[in-house]
Structure 1
Amino acid sequence: MCDVNVFVVKNGVEEKVLENVDLIEEVPDGIRLVNIFGEERTLKAKMVLYNNSEKRMLFQSF
């Protein structure tokens, strides 16, 4: 599988937001994340880093 764990940096601190993310899409409210279990989160953030080998994606909160 190629699902990733998503983290957000807020005030200099990384926080895990959602694990096993399978879908990432831009929506009017921000970035929509959906994991393999159907859990959803929407972030008001921009992407900073995607590391496939670590299965890790990092966003910076607005």
Structure 2
Amino acid sequence: MCDISVFVRKNGMEEKVLENVDRIEEVAGGGIRLVNIFGEEETIRARMILYDNSEKRMIFAPM
């Protein structure tokens, strides 16, 4: 499986937003919509700073 965990980095700390994410898309207004394999969704206003496939994680920074 290639499902990843998404984190937002604030003040040097990483907060997990959603696990098992398999869909990431930009939405109107500059948001990022995350959807996992269970259909759970989160929308964040952030920019991507790291994608690490070997660790199955993606890190965003708030905008």
Partner of 2:37: 36
In the alignment, the residues of structure 2 paired with residue 58 and residue 26 of structure 1 have an alpha-carbon distance, to the nearest angstrom, of 15
Give the TM-score taking structure 1 as reference length.
Answer: 0.94
Stretches of 4+ aligned residues off by more than 6 angstroms: none
Partner of 2:52: 51
Give the TM-score taking structure 2 as reference length.
Answer: 0.93
RMSD after superposition: 0.8
What is the count of residue pairs matched by the alignment? 62
In the alignment, the residues of structure 2 paired with residue 11 and residue 45 of structure 1 have an alpha-carbon distance, to the nearest angstrom, of 14
Residues 6-58 of structure 1 show CA distances to partners (whole Å, capped at 9, x for unaligned) of: 00012322100000000000111400000000000000000000000000000
